A and B are shown apart, each in its own frame.
Chain A
């Protein structure tokens, strides 16, 4: 199945793209998608303990399962204000 991955700020710079289309296995979670990304872009790995994640524009934990067509987002520590 296919999901869209959104990346922001430094994560976007590391991957060189704000949005990636990823083919993932059925049963994948947000966490497994992150691990695949971190393999493709090793510099992402150091964010593992500080990122937040979202599913279809709502905060969601890494153990949440994803479905075909979902939008998964990874957010580095925020700095609004």
Chain B
């Protein structure tokens, strides 16, 4: 957690006007779709992932102009209970911090070029979720809807 909070504060992103930081941590859990999960392996297309994170940050800036964020996703093997993704959003008020934090994880799941391979009792499988399309306004609207409920 320290590196994430450091990313928010050490770079001078926290200002006197900030009143809230929301943090989301995604964890590797020990079950999925009825399977007993041993561990996950994550793979990313890193240069495009970084570009996509910048795009998500820019979307957040359009929707929540007062918010600044830190976003980190690990790759490689992560054991049960390990943190795969960490997001922190800072804002003058808590509502925008919570909403934008939720928006970021929804967008990561929609458009970040990152894949998880699940190793479970008896085998392994690549998990395939959304077809990544950053220009799909419907997906973006859905992420915003989830963020603002």
Q: A residues engaging B (CB < 8 A)?
A: 6, 8-10, 13, 50-52, 54, 57-59, 73, 75-81
Q: A8-B115, A9-B115 are in contact. Are A78 and B130 (CB under 8 A)?
A: yes
Taking a contact as CB atoms under 8 Å apart, the answer to whether B132 and A59 are in contact is yes
Contact of B1 with A by CB under 8 A: no
Q: Which one of B39-47, B91-99, B140-148 is at the interface?
A: B39-47
A12 → chain B, closest Cβ, in Å? 8
* Prevailing SS type, chain B contact patch: mixed
Taking a contact as CB atoms under 8 Å apart, the answer to whether A78 and B51 are in contact is no
Separation of A75 and B111 alpha carbons in the complex (Å): 11
A51 → chain B, closest Cβ, in Å? 7
Taking a contact as CB atoms under 8 Å apart, the answer to whether B112 and A78 are in contact is yes
Taking a contact as CB atoms under 8 Å apart, the answer to whether B105 and A81 are in contact is yes
Picked from B48, B115, B134, the residue with its CB within 8 Å of the CB of A79 is: B115
